């Protein structure tokens, strides 16, 4: 300490040296504290705060507490697993006391400057687990389960968990969410003590040996590293790696990681998610889609049947319409033949009458006889012609159908094509228009 006091007057009656500027004293205090021996301390971490440049925490035990600070770079170089340094963790730290002198705008602070640390207790377990993980990885035991095929909708799901606990209910909730209606086989085993690992391994072997279980879920709630230690057991992990039935692990919560998570076919954060991973197919959603597809199929099938029924109905009418068209055509040809014969007979009758007149003028008896015979013949032919006279047919109630151009219409197709027609009756002609009757397809369809 500087022996020369500041010019400011001190406390009256005090024999202590000074007063000195506080900044100078703070710097001298830091120098003296840094001269203390570097030591290792052990205790429990509390109030952990990780900042951009510094990590702060307190180290406590039953007799006292010490504020600690560690540069962030030194902390990151330790390569601690996630969750290793947390409140409550037991650590061994190496370093020495330090003092921050502060300034006009910041307060001074005393702390134990940590240069390095080791997590004891759970930290040792994490280190052992990490070493065993690398050993299993080197032996190729982390991959066999991941190559096993998993059915989208297993018929039977095996579950290894504690008989009492939330994990069991969470698995059932996950299966219900999937709409799963298959079989669930339970294998209850302890999930936290020194007997848990062999019991869990035995339960897994028993489920896989049945041959009916398609996938196995191992479920447990969260806990500390010690609580979950059974699921990092080497024998259990080797057993799971050699099973031919896929195993879905759901041990602990989001931040927990055991060796079983690395060895299993699938690792899930919660038992509910494990149930959904064991049954990848959402049966409830698939049932809804299947029902919708069945309704669409029924709708299209009904319309297809009705459409083909209409086609068959039209095809069933086709032969009758074909015969009708030919019948009308034959009637037309017959009328034309009769008209042609009548014209020929009329010509022949005129010639015969002329010949008869010439024979009468000659006044011979033989010619008169021949003339009478010919006249009788002509009368007979005239009667035959009159019988085929279209006018007489019209007089009996029939009609002659002509289009706008005067051509005779003989078929229904021609009438529909013409649109407007003229009907010739015995006394006069009438103009008309063709109108189609309602199609049978427009009638109300029968309900299914």
Give pLDDT tens digits for 258-289: 899 999 999 888 888 888 888 888 877 777 77
pLDDT for 438 equals: 65
In the predicted structure, residue 290 carries a pLDDT above the cut 90 = no
What is the predicted pLDDT for the residue at 442? Answer: 46
Q: What pLDDT, in 10s, does the model give residues 54-65?
A: 999 999 887 888
Mean pLDDT, the chain, rounded, equals 83
pLDDT in tens, 338-352: 888 888 888 877 888
Cβ-contact 85, 120 below 8 angstroms: no
Confidence of residue 123 (pLDDT cuts 50, 70, 90): low
pLDDT of residue 124: 61
Query: Cα separation of 407 and 358, whole Å?
Result: 41
pLDDT at 443 over 60: no
Percentage, residues of the chain above pLDDT 70? 88
Q: To the nearest 10°, report the CA torsion of 244, 250, 252, 255.
A: 100
Angle between helices 122-138 and 234-242 (to 10 degrees): 30
Rg (CA), the chain: 57
Query: Three-state SS for 55?
Result: strand
pLDDT at residue 361, as a whole number: 64
**Count of beta carbons in the 10 Å neighbourhood of residue 113:** 19
pLDDT band of residue 359 (cuts 50, 70, 90) is low
Residue 111's pLDDT band, with cuts at 50, 70 and 90, is: very high
Q: What pLDDT is stored for residue 448 in this prediction? A: 36
Give the three-class secondary structure for 436: coil
Question: Does 187 score more than 50 pLDDT?
Answer: yes
Most confident listed range (44-53, 77-86, 248-257): 44-53
pLDDT, greater one: 15 or 95:
95
Give the per-residue pLDDT at 159. 93
pTM score? 0.45
What Cα–Cα distance (Å) separates residue 88 from each residue in 83, 188, 312, 420? 11, 32, 86, 105
pLDDT of residue 51: 92
Tens of pLDDT, residues 225-237: 667 888 888 999 9
Q: Note the pLDDT of residue 306.
A: 86
Long-range contacts of 294-300 (CB under 8 A, 24+ apart): 298/448
Select from 321, 330, 331 the least CA-distant residue to 413. Answer: 321
Q: What is the pLDDT of residues 393-431, one digit of tens each?
A: 776 777 888 887 778 888 888 888 887 888 878 777 888
């Amino acid at each position: 300490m500087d022996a020369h006091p500041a010019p400011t007057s001190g406390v009256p009656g005090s024999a202590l040296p000074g007063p000195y500027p506080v900044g100078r004293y703070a710097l001298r205090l830091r120098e003296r504290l840094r001269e203390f021996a570097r030591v290792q301390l052990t205790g429990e971490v509390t109030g952990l705060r990780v900042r951009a440049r510094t990590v702060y925490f307190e180290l406590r035990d039953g007799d006292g507490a010490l504020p600690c600070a560690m540069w962030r770079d030194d902390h990151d170089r330790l390569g601690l697993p996630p969750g290793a340094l947390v409140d409550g963790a037991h650590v061994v730290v190496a370093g020495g006391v330090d003092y921050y002198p502060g300034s006009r705008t910041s307060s001074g602070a005393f702390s134990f400057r940590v240069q390095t640390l080791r997590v004891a207790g759970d930290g040792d377990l994490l280190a052992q687990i990490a070493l065993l993980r690398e050993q299993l990885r080197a032996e190729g035991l982390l991959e066999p389960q991941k190559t096993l095929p998993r059915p989208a909708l297993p018929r039977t799901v095996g579950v290894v968990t504690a008989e009492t606990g939330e994990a069991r209910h969470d698995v059932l909730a996950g299966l219900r969410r999937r709409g799963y209606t298959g079989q669930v086989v339970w294998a209850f085993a302890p999930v936290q003590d020194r007997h848990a690992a062999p019991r869990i391994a035995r339960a897994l072997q028993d489920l896989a040996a049945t041959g009916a279980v398609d996938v196995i879920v191992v479920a447990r709630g969260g806990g500390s590293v010690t609580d979950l230690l059974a699921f990092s057991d080497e024998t259990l992990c080797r057993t799971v790696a050699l099973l031919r039935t896929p195993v879905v692990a759901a041990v602990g919560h989001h931040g927990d990681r055991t060796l079983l998570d690395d060895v299993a076919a699938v690792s899930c954060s919660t038992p509910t998610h494990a149930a959904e991973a064991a049954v990848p197919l959402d049966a409830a959603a698939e049932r809804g889609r299947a029902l919708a597809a069945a309704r669409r199929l029924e709708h299209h099938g009904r319309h297809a049947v009705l459409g083909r029924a209409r086609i068959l109905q039209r095809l069933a009418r086709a032969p009758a319409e074909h015969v009708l068209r030919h019948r009308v055509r034959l009637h037309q040809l017959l009328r034309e033949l009769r008209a042609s014969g009548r014209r020929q007979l009329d010509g022949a009758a005129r010639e015969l009458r002329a010949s008869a007149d010439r024979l009468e003028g000659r006044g011979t008896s033989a010619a008169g006889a021949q003339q009478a015979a010919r006249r009788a013949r002509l009368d007979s032919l005239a009667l035959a012609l009159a019988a085929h006279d279209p006018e007489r047919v019209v007089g009996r109630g029939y009609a002659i159908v002509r289009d706008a151009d005067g051509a005779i219409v003989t078929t229904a197709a021609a009438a529909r094509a013409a649109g407007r027609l003229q009907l010739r009756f015995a006394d006069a002609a009438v103009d008309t228009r063709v109108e189609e009757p309602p199609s049978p397809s427009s009638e109300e369809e029968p309900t299914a």
